[in-house]
């Protein structure tokens, strides 16, 4: 994870998560992340298997020149990028994975900017993860034109999936283990899916919230 916004949001999410797979949606307090609120969003995984924006910060909308609320985030992507993006969203919803997506966006006249997207699972009702908290932020040294002209297309450069306390939770659930799960010593592996490298981190959670190593409102009804 490269961007300061992603690191800040992950640390907050990890703090309120505790030993659980994911924190509850209503534990998110906007005042505690007020400095990055304009770059954050919340998705809803609905009964139609769409991942719709419940909320999107003003800076996210400004960068892309559109209002995202109610739109499916998958519609931002095409081809293989869309397929892989759907997989990571399902990984967050079903297994409690944290995902980091590095992508390049381009304006209509060919100017480019690099962005990072962080996706974090949230429990909304019962034990089901039907909300995803995230942020989209430009590189910490963005081009001067960004914010004056919207980007029109985007292309994924790298996707990383991380399980902060050890293993995909769906595997443990099949073993009839109950949440919260025990911590597991960490290791990492790289998984290639559809010619796209997914860097997966299985890492033990420390007492202090910290961002995983990755190389290469806020009030809804």
Q: What are phi and psi of 75, to 5 degrees?
A: -70, -10
Q: Percentage of the chain with pLDDT > 70? A: 75
Q: Which residues contact 38 (CB under 8 A, 6 or more apart)?
A: 57, 58, 59, 60
161 token code pair: 């999936």
CB 55 within 8 A of CB 69: yes
The CA dihedral of 208, 211, 213, 215, to the nearest 10 degrees, is -170
Q: CA-to-CA distance for 142 and 111, rounded, in angstroms? A: 12
Q: CA-to-CA distance for 82 and 200, rounded, in angstroms? A: 19
Q: CA-to-CA distance for 134 and 99, rounded, in angstroms? A: 9
The alpha carbon of residue 61 and the mean position of all alpha carbons in its chain are separated, in whole angstroms, by 17
Quote the pLDDT of residue 68: 93
Domains parsed from the chain with CATH numbers: 4-202 (3.30.450.20)
Q: CA-to-CA distance for 111 and 26, rounded, in angstroms? A: 39
Q: CA-to-CA distance for 209 and 140, rounded, in angstroms? A: 21
CB 160 within 8 A of CB 100: yes
Tell me what the mean pLDDT of segment 63-69 comes to. Answer: 90
Q: Residue 198 — pLDDT band, cuts 50, 70, 90?
A: very low
Beta bridge partners of 115: 103, 138
Q: CA-to-CA distance for 25 and 125, rounded, in angstroms? A: 9
What does the pLDDT look like over 16-48, one tens digit per residue? 999 888 999 999 999 999 999 999 999 998 877
Quote the pLDDT of residue 183: 35
H-helix segments, the chain: 4-17, 58-64, 79-95, 169-174
- The whole-model pTM stands at 0.77
Quote the pLDDT of residue 13: 96
Q: Residue 207 — pLDDT band, cuts 50, 70, 90?
A: very low
């Amino acid at each position: 994870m490269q961007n300061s916004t992603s690191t800040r949001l992950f640390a907050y999410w990890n703090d309120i998560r505790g030993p659980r797979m994911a924190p509850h949606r209503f534990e998110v307090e906007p005042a505690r992340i007020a400095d990055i609120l304009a770059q954050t969003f919340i998705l809803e995984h609905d009964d139609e298997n769409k991942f719709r924006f419940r909320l999107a910060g003003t800076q996210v909308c400004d960068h892309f020149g559109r209002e995202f609320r109610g739109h499916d985030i998958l519609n931002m992507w095409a081809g293989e990028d869309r397929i892989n993006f759907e997989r990571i969203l399902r990984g967050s919803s079903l297994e409690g994975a944290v995902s980091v997506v590095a992508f390049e966006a381009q304006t209509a006249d060919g100017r480019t900017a690099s962005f990072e997207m962080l996706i974090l699972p949230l429990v909304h009702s019962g034990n089901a993860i039907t909300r995803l908290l995230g942020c989209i932020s430009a590189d910490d040294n963005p081009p001067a034109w960004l914010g004056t002209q919207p980007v029109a297309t985007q292309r994924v450069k790298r996707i990383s999936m991380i399980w902060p306390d050890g293993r995909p939770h769906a595997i443990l659930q099949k073993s009839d283990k109950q949440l919260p799960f025990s911590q597991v010593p960490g290791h990492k592996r790289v998984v290639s899916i559809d010619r796209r490298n997914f860097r997966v981190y299985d890492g033990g959670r420390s007492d202090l919230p910290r961002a995983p190593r990755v190389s290469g409102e806020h009030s809804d009804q």
